[in-house]
Structure 1
Amino acid sequence: MRHVFLIGLSGSGKSTVGRLLAQRLGRPLLDVDALIEQEYGERIPAIFARHGEAHFRSLEARILAQAIQQPSNAIIVTGGGIVVLPENRALMAQSGVRVFLQVDPLISLRRLQAQHAHEQQSGQVVEVRPLLSGPDPLANLQKMLAVREAWYQEAEYTCFTQGKQAEQVALEIMTMLDDSTSPEQVTSMIRRVHIGAGYDAVVEWGGLSRLATYLKQLQLPPRIFLVTDSNIHDFYIPALLQQLTAAGFEPQVYTLPAGEGSKSQQQLFALYDWLLEHQAERREALVALGGGVVGDLVGFVAATYLRGVPLIQVPTSLLAQVDSAIGGKTGINHPRGKNLIGAFYHPRLVLADPATLLSLPTRSRIEGWAEIVKYGIILDAELFSLLEEHANALRDFSQPPVALLCRIIARCIDIKAGVIEEDEREQGQRAILNYGHTFGHALENVSGYGEWLHGEAISIGMVVAAELAQEAGLFDEQDAMRQNQLLAALGLPIAYTGKVRAQDILAAMQLDKKVVGKRVRWIMPRQIGKVEITPLPDELVERVITTFMGEK
């Protein structure tokens, strides 16, 4: 890897992120502004004030040319205006890779003002930055971004910094720069899902930055209705609004409260009201940006508003990318059970960007591995072995294995797409996708939605299912141990701790969607990579679940 140049507006965090990158990657750190001040003996604002911008740009270009002659592999932090001169842009492109730290001008201004105030409080001699002078510094920054943005966008990589700590931004850049990952390995993988008119499920690292391009390909009307949640909003909405507006779209945004509680009748009707207030039309698309809660709820709205409007799924959680965004299941919860009210309704596009997983809390990311282990158990022994081989790296995520992660997500999408193409409405084989869900859904319901994340409950549900299969003489003990060891290695729970009673779980399971003739049809593993659908004796189910939950 050659030099890494950090570019972007002043206040985008280049200096802080540069220090973190240099420390973690063990590379030299060069700061162009600091080198100028060191050589000239004056602060940047003073140089600007005394000699003017043209002189400063000439000086900046000379220092940049000197910097790239330094030891290779340096992290080079640049000033916000380094891109103004074409020779600087050409020099950076020739001698390294550029990373554009994208930031909203308002956030940039707040950071610069805070830095200025800190310097004053610490007794430093402070020169007023040209950016902060004048009656409207925000307008200065906005105008500056408008002039420079096309040059910033020439960068090989773009990192959205909105709402992110410097450590997270550094991690994202480290992942982008992973020397073991060639561009060919992480190009988009597309699975055409052949149901109805068909739709593409795309897995693309960094694909969120190309959402507008994908929407253009669908030839949608310019007005789109984007729904997200309160956890996701600050990470992605500001940059997406800028991207979509620049592409000619007219995005409208609705932000849900984060959490399973939003899969409710109350939020369903709130979204209907929002669409009606905007007089949303039948050809105008709904975009679901978020995890499974957002995808399920917005999908149901799309299926029912005006008897159906275009739906775009942009899943940002691992669980949603490999499972809930694929297959057309939409719906809300009922107080008596999970997903009891809903419809089958397929999107026009699924865009899964694994880079969004970097913004997830650890627990929220880890829960998604449950659904991936499920695919290994029900249909793909090779996938299961791959997870066993790389469990530590997949759980740790300090330097995500980008190509492997994209490959795993794409494989899971391919598995699910293959199943639903044969059985769209779960009349037969599709039920195997619910391995671990009979107990898991009951646990979520009885314990109160939110105490257990969905993936955590499914992990415990798979442990129970494997134990039932063992007791029924269907599943080998060694395979059950492999399943449970893999779940634990990925950070998932394999034992129950809590106050829920077995009888409450058994009662809740009678509302499971796989109940036929008041008997639960269980998804039972026969070996890793193969399951069957079968009823089980009530006595066996009650005994195993009661014992598992620590009751006599």
Structure 2
Amino acid sequence: LISFGGGVISDMGGFAASIYQRGIDFINIPTTLLACVDAAVGGKTGVNNNFGKNLIGTFYQPKAVYCESSFLKTLSSRELAAGMAEFIKMATMFDDSILDFIEKIDEKSFLNATCENEIFTQIIARSIELKSRVVEQDEKESGLRMLLNYGHTFAHVIENFTDYKLYLHGEAVAIGMVMANQLALNLRLLDKMQSQKIKDILLKFSLPISYKINNVDEFYEAFFMDKKSSNKKINFVLASPLGKGLIKGDISKEDIIATLREFQ
């Protein structure tokens, strides 16, 4: 089976391959930046349902992933920015020196897809290098790989509450990173300067950084549909500091609610 397209295609194609005849070979040919840097690499497959994001899925590795940067020249600025959000996620969790590289990218030529192919190639190569290293150590997401979900605990709730129609996945992740950073800031795990740095980088690429929560209690309860929650505790992925991820599952309901209220 060949999955040719963006992240949704690689997720669905991989899932279909994993269950058809108890598993057949498949390859991914990602055509969006988000798929190149994240979705098509690592073997996580799945589909959404009415209860949440990717709640039906498998871990099933593709036989190969072919990334062709020239496909990215066909993308809208919004799609490119969404892919950049996932790259920013990787840098924030594992290598803050990449944030310096991102800050030097000319955002206008990047968002217009007129930048040198070398920029896209470097982004893809660095992302795959980081993610491969993580997946090799923790393929089934029992520890280290959970850090790749930075921003996603909040993002999945936002996507679900907006029926997956208002935001691209990378846009929701951008907002989720800001929310996660605010929680880390309130817990004194991250300082204001570092939190602001991520906001500034996201804004540089025209990514959203805010979401209005209408019902804090409903938003909080939705966290428990997250795959990282266990024993009635929510495992949040936080930056502490930039370039180093932390999984924290002992945050009180009061502290979580207080952070959510800042987004009302």
Report TM bin, short chain: over 0.9
The equivalent residue for 2:257 is 542
Deviations 1:488-543, CA, capped at 9 Å, x for gaps = 0011011125x743322212111101101011111111111111111211111111
The equivalent residue for 2:150 is 435
Name the amino acid aligned to 2:150: Y
Kept after mapping to 2: 8 A contact 1:372/1:412 = yes
Match of 2:194 among 472, 475, 479: 479
C-alpha distance in 2 between matches for 1:362 and 1:381? 24
The equivalent residue for 1:527 is 241
C-alpha distance in 2 between matches for 1:541 and 1:414? 33
Kept after mapping to 2: 8 A contact 1:445/1:508 = no
Kept after mapping to 1: 8 A contact 2:239/2:245 = yes
Deviation at 1:362, TM superposition (A): 2.1
C-alpha distance in 2 between matches for 1:346 and 1:302? 10
Deviations 1:219-255, CA, capped at 9 Å, x for gaps = xxxxxxxxxxxxxxxxxxxxxxxxxxxxxxxxxxxxx
Deviations 1:324-363, CA, capped at 9 Å, x for gaps = 1111000111110100001110011101111111212221
C-alpha distance in 2 between matches for 1:402 and 1:359? 12
5+ long unaligned stretches in structure 1: 1-285
TM-score by length of 2: 0.96
Name the amino acid aligned to 1:338: K
Kept after mapping to 1: 8 A contact 2:223/2:234 = yes
Kept after mapping to 1: 8 A contact 2:184/2:238 = yes
- The reply on whether 1:405 has 2:116 as its aligned counterpart is no
Match of 2:84 among 369, 382, 397: 369
1:459 match: secondary structure: helix
Name the amino acid aligned to 1:520: I
Indicate how the Cα distance of structure 1 residues 383 and 503 shifts in structure 2: closer, same or farther if over 3 A, else same: same
- The reply on whether 1:396 has 2:124 as its aligned counterpart is no
C-alpha distance in 2 between matches for 1:368 and 1:327? 16
Kept after mapping to 1: 8 A contact 2:155/2:173 = yes
2:225 match: secondary structure: coil
- Structure holding more strand per residue: 1
C-alpha distance in 2 between matches for 1:320 and 1:500? 31
1:367 match: secondary structure: helix
Deviations 1:396-424, CA, capped at 9 Å, x for gaps = 33522211220111100110000010000
C-alpha distance in 2 between matches for 1:436 and 1:489? 18
Match of 2:32 among 298, 305, 317: 317
Match of 1:469 among 172, 184, 207: 184
2:105 match: secondary structure: helix
The equivalent residue for 1:332 is 47
The equivalent residue for 1:504 is 218
5+ long unaligned stretches in structure 2: none
Kept after mapping to 1: 8 A contact 2:12/2:46 = yes
Q: How does 1:74-153 map to 2 (within 5 A)?
A: none
The equivalent residue for 2:94 is 379
Name the amino acid aligned to 2:199: N
Name the amino acid aligned to 2:174: S
Kept after mapping to 2: 8 A contact 1:371/1:455 = yes
Deviations 1:287-306, CA, capped at 9 Å, x for gaps = 00111111100100000101
Deviation at 1:433, TM superposition (A): 0.3
Match of 2:168 among 432, 446, 453: 453
Kept after mapping to 2: 8 A contact 1:391/1:486 = no
2:262 match: secondary structure: helix
- The reply on whether 1:299 has 2:14 as its aligned counterpart is yes
The equivalent residue for 1:517 is 231
1:503 match: secondary structure: helix
Kept after mapping to 2: 8 A contact 1:391/1:489 = no
Name the amino acid aligned to 1:459: A
Kept after mapping to 1: 8 A contact 2:45/2:57 = yes
C-alpha distance in 2 between matches for 1:500 and 1:393? 34
Q: How does 1:58-73 map to 2 (within 5 A)?
A: none
Higher relative contact order structure (alpha carbons within 8 Å, sequence separation ≥ 6): 2
Kept after mapping to 1: 8 A contact 2:74/2:113 = no
Name the amino acid aligned to 2:144: Q
2:142 match: secondary structure: coil
Following TM superposition, the consecutive aligned residue runs of length 4 or more in structure 1 with deviations greater than 6 angstroms are: none
Kept after mapping to 1: 8 A contact 2:81/2:111 = no
